[in-house]
């Protein structure tokens, strides 16, 4: 099983500042990596897939990078609606098992 590890667990950031979230895979997943945002009481929302491609409707302040085992989600200038929990997920092509990281909570500093 591929284990995904996110860091930090909690990130305290002021509105307007940059946030950088990390995700590490226990073995290479190439660029088969997605990022999700989840707000309290809501279903997750896909932000990024293919490690760096923004999903439909996602603002360009969200960007993803990385390949292999190291990945980063960057929010260039945090807006009030961006304070949430973020998860990475690997989607190995075959067999199509998925695993999530444990999440990073982005909170107001």
- 32, 36, 103 from 39: Cα distances, Å: 24, 10, 12
Q: How far is the CB of 88 from other proteins (least distance, A)?
A: 10
Binding site for other proteins (CB under 8 A): 1, 32, 34, 36, 38, 43-46, 49-50, 53, 55, 85, 87, 89, 91, 93, 95-103
Nearer CB in complex with other proteins: 38/76: 38
Q: Quick one: 16 or 81, whose CB is closer to other proteins?
A: 81
CB of 25 to other proteins, least distance (A): 14
Contact 100, 61 (CB under 8 A): no
CA angle 15, 21, 27 (to 5 degrees): 170
Q: Which is nearer to other proteins, 98 or 109 (CB)?
A: 98
Q: Enumerate long-range contacts of 94-97, CB under 8 Å, 24 or more apart.
A: 97/1, 97/2
Residue 5: CA count within 13 A, CB half-sphere: 7
Q: In angstroms, what is the minimal distance from the CB of 65 to other proteins?
A: 16
Q: How far is the CB of 56 from other proteins (least distance, A)?
A: 8
């Amino acid at each position: 099983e591929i284990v995904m590890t996110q860091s930090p667990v909690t990130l305290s950031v002021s509105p307007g500042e940059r946030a950088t979230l990390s995700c590490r895979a226990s073995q290479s997943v190439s660029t088969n990596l997605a990022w999700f945002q989840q707000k309290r009481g809501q279903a997750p929302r896909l932000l990024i897939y293919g490690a760096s491609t923004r999903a439909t409707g996602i603002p360009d302040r969200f960007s993803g990078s990385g390949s292999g085992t190291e990945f980063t989600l960057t929010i260039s200038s945090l807006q009030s609606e961006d304070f949430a929990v973020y998860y990475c997920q690997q989607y190995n092509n075959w067999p199509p098992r998925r695993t999530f990281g444990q999440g990073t909570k982005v909170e107001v500093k």
